[in-house]
Amino acid sequence: MLKICRGKEIQKTFFDYAEPECLVDVRQIIEEVRQKGDEALKKFTLLYDGVNLNDFRLSQQEIKSAGKKVGSSLKKAMAQAAKNLKVMSRSQLSSLKSLNVKIKPGVTAEQKIIPVNRVGIYVPGGRYPLFSSLLMAAIPARLAGVKKIIVCSPPSFEGSLHPALLYAARLSQVDEVYRLGGAQAIAAMALGTESIKKVDKIVGPGNLYVTAAKKELFGQVGIDFIAGPTELLIIADEKANPAFIAADLIAQAEHDFRARPVLITTDLVLARKVNKKIEKEVEKISTRETVRTSLTKNGLIIIVKNVEEAVTLANRMAPEHLAVFMERPERIIDRLQNYGSLFVGEYASEVLGDYSSGLNHILPTNSASRYTGGLSVRDFLKVQTALRVSKKGLMEIGPAARHLAQAEGLEGHANSIKIRLEGKSG
- Kindly report, residue by residue over 325-339, the tens digit of the pLDDT: 999 999 999 999 999
Q: Which CATH class is domain 23-223?
A: alpha beta
Residue 377 reports pLDDT greater than 90 = yes
Q: How confident is the model at residue 426 (pLDDT cuts 50, 70, 90)?
A: low
Q: Which residues are within 8 A (CB) of 129 and not within 5 positions of it... i.e. 6 or more apart?
A: 123, 153, 156, 157, 161, 162, 164, 165
216-225: pLDDT as tens digits? 999 999 999 9
Mean pLDDT of all residues in 5-32: 78
Query: Looking at 154-196, which runs of residues are DSSP E strands?
Result: 176-179
pTM assigned to the model: 0.93
Is the pLDDT higher at 179 or at 228? 179
pLDDT of residue 16: 59
Q: Work out the mean pLDDT of the chain and round it to a whole number.
A: 95
Residue 19 reports pLDDT greater than 70 = no
Same CATH topology for 3-17+229-358 and 23-223? yes
pLDDT of residue 14: 62
236-278: pLDDT as tens digits? 999 999 999 999 999 999 998 999 999 999 999 999 999 999 9
Residues annotated as part of the active site: 320-321
346-356: pLDDT as tens digits? 999 999 999 99
CATH topology for the 3-17+229-358 domain: Rossmann fold (3.40.50)
The domain spans of the chain are 3-17+229-358, 23-223, 390-421
**Percent of residues, the chain, with pLDDT higher than 70:** 97
Cα 172 to Cα 403: distance, rounded to the nearest angstrom? 53
pLDDT of residue 245: 98
Cα 255 to Cα 133: distance, rounded to the nearest angstrom? 13
